[in-house]
Homo-oligomer: A and B are copies of this chain.
Amino acid sequence: MMKNSGHTRRERPYHHGDLYSSLVKAAEDLLEEKGANALSLREVCQCAGVSHAAPYRHFRDKAALMEAVAKAGFNQLGEMISEARARHPGEPEMQILDAGRAYVAWATENPERTRLMFGGMMKSDTIDEDLHQAAEAAYDEIYRIIDEGRSTGVFGGRDTDSVVLSAWSAVHGLTMLILGSGKLTPENPRDVRALADIIGDTVVSGIRSR
């Protein structure tokens, strides 16, 4: 298990080359493997093959590294929703159903990263602007679905923000219950999808124009 990222000749050069990315990758892997509580920066360094002081050239502190991990997570999650939207052009109901499936699926496949992303980090006042924008971009994907559905008359509700909130809350709530409660323990992706569909049906019933 020698790590040699990008280098073919020297076994371990003094200068790493792309330490920033290596640290984020190592942090992601270790986070999912051991959980947020047991994740130490020193272990991430060991995994990336550098000394425990090396990260401080690239990240202000441990929290900044975790913010980078969260940012990558929001980008991935937003991409999943975007793809679900693209799969059903002109069909907002199918878009929201499929986006819900994708949201829950990604989160259950990356539970620790999801907990990190929605665990209160975004509330801190020292929040990075990059991270904020990545989260915003994911939100916008949901907004676009609802907005199209409302403008074509298939969704109702008093205003778009309220409908987005309702849809997002339901899907996000299912997600966090799967990750956080002892009650919901789907064994495989098909179980996850079945749960997502139960919530999807209720959401669509609740926001459909009447």
What residues make up the interface of A, taking CB atoms closer than 8 Å to B?
35, 111, 115, 117-123, 127, 132, 135-136, 139, 157, 162-163, 165-166, 168-177, 179-185, 195, 198-199, 202-207, 210
Tell whether, in the assembled complex, residue A166 and residue B123 are in contact, meaning their CB atoms are under 8 Å apart: no
Chain B residues within an 8 Å CB radius of A122: 180-182
Pick the contact of A172: B163, B173, B198 (CB < 8 A): B173
Please give me the residue from chain B that is nearest to A173 by CB atom.
Answer: B173
Tell whether, in the assembled complex, residue B120 and residue A166 are in contact, meaning their CB atoms are under 8 Å apart: no
Q: How far is the CB of A2 from chain B (nearest CB, A)?
A: 33
Main SS class of interface, A: helix
Q: How far is the CB of A66 from chain B (nearest CB, A)?
A: 10
A139 and B183 alpha carbons, distance in the complex (Å): 9
Chain B residues within an 8 Å CB radius of A202: 157, 162-163, 166, 170, 203, 206-207
Chain B residues within an 8 Å CB radius of A176: 118, 172-173, 176
Please give me the residue from chain B that is nearest to A174 by CB atom.
Answer: B169
Q: How far is the CB of A21 from chain B (nearest CB, A)?
A: 25
Chain B residues within an 8 Å CB radius of A139: 183
